[in-house]
Amino acid sequence: MTNQEPQNNLSLTSEEEFVYEVPSVSEPEIAPHIERNPVGVVASYCTRKAGTDCKRCLSVCAHQALSIGPNNTPHLDEETCTRCGLCQGVCDAFCTTRITYEDLLKHVRTLSAHNTPVYFTCAEHVSVGETPAYNVVVLPCIGALPPEFWAICLREGIHLILHIDFEFCETCFDAGSQAATLFSSGLELAQQWSGKEIQTESSYPLEGTIWDTLLESDGTDRRGTLASMTSSGIDIATGDYRRRNSQSAVREYEEKRERMRARGYLNTDSALRFSAAAGEGTHKLEHPRLKTLVESVEAHPEGASNIVRWFAITNPQACTSCKACIKQCPTGARYQDEEHLFTLTDPKKCIACGACMIACEQDAIDYIEGSAAWFLTE
């Protein structure tokens, strides 16, 4: 047993550690030219429903657009929200209405399969009148993606290129100056986990004609190049480029329709993935960032021990097999060891949220530091 608390388990630390001192920044005189998609709350992924006091999303929101609602889950003020996406970067309970975390990962892998480098930039770095090429992912903020995403891409050999001006980030109105600290630390962590570095460049490719792109291809996979171009690139910050340049009335209609579609999607269980380990009639959710990391480590086990993770462990002498932790665990990570009659943790499902520790009246549960290599153990 250890008395250390998990560094990534913010729900177990004191409230003061959640709060950023957000520097005041002035709103730009000219509104950003790129429209960002609305952010939806998938409340079922919020660990507060399992009894934790997690406030990570509140801590990163520069405009206090998030609050804890009467149902003890995040409430998003759409009028105040700048759609910067930082809440998505720290919690699975938030999702852009156009593309999910897993959709984006699939898209990046598809580009990589055609030997295409993938550029990442933020919406504020796209100049007026420019249309990024099909292999440029425009994020509302680089911080909208967690360390797990970057680590997965680097470990799988995906050629990532980052276009970002850190000095510009310090004065960003939409995400706040803390965004640079958040995503730079996340990128550094991903590089430590993977043992590889993310390439940076001062520019990104712009959209050209089909023939220009095909002629630049080495000819080995023109079908793949053409197929990639037809998708026009995924942009989780802006949506369709044609909508950006259309008349305001059309944009307003598209925005309204997008909101209605998003609410219908995000407020139903169709948006959720359930774990086969669900017990006693309760739904246990597979959280996307852990699920994709586990799948990546299983497919590429080399270097898994470099990826630091925290896991719940049980003191068998203190455990009374009351199963309170099993009932409270939101992911189905806790289960009963029928042979020894105490509860255990499945490392492939544990998100170190602290719900089991809070539920255990015998103080039989603690957290220890491990690695993603534990995903490979039976």
Pull the structure tokens for residue 189: 């962590």
Question: For residues 335 and 343, is the Cβ–Cβ distance under 8 A?
Answer: yes
Helical segments of 75-176, H only? 86-90, 101-113, 147-155, 166-169
Cα 270 to its chain centre, rounded Å, is 19
Question: For residues 111 and 231, is the Cβ–Cβ distance under 8 A?
Answer: no
Question: E strand or H helix at 356, and its extent?
Answer: helix 355-359
Considering the segment(s) 288-376 as one domain, its CATH architecture is 2-Layer Sandwich (3.30)
pLDDT for 108 = 95
Q: What is the C-alpha separation between 203 and 378, in angstroms, rounded?
A: 46
| Domains in the chain: boundaries | 10-266, 288-376
3-state secondary structure of 284: coil
Nearest residue to 125 via CA among 170, 161, 164, 89: 164
C-beta neighbour count of 179 within 10 angstroms: 24
Reading the chain (378 residues) residue by residue, the pLDDT tens digits are 444 433 333 233 333 333 333 333 333 333 334 567 788 888 889 999 899 999 999 999 999 999 999 889 999 998 999 999 999 999 999 988 777 888 899 999 999 999 999 999 998 888 878 889 989 999 999 999 999 999 999 999 999 999 988 777 888 889 988 898 888 999 999 999 999 999 999 999 988 644 455 455 554 454 454 444 444 444 444 444 434 444 455 555 555 555 555 544 444 444 444 444 444 434 578 899 999 999 999 999 999 999 999 999 999 999 999 999 999 999 999 998 877 778 899 999 999 999 999 999 999 999 999 999 999 986
pLDDT for 8 = 35
Q: What is the C-alpha separation between 250 and 256, in angstroms, rounded?
A: 10
C-beta neighbour count of 161 within 10 angstroms: 18
Question: For residues 290 and 101, is the Cβ–Cβ distance under 8 A?
Answer: no
pLDDT for 272 = 45
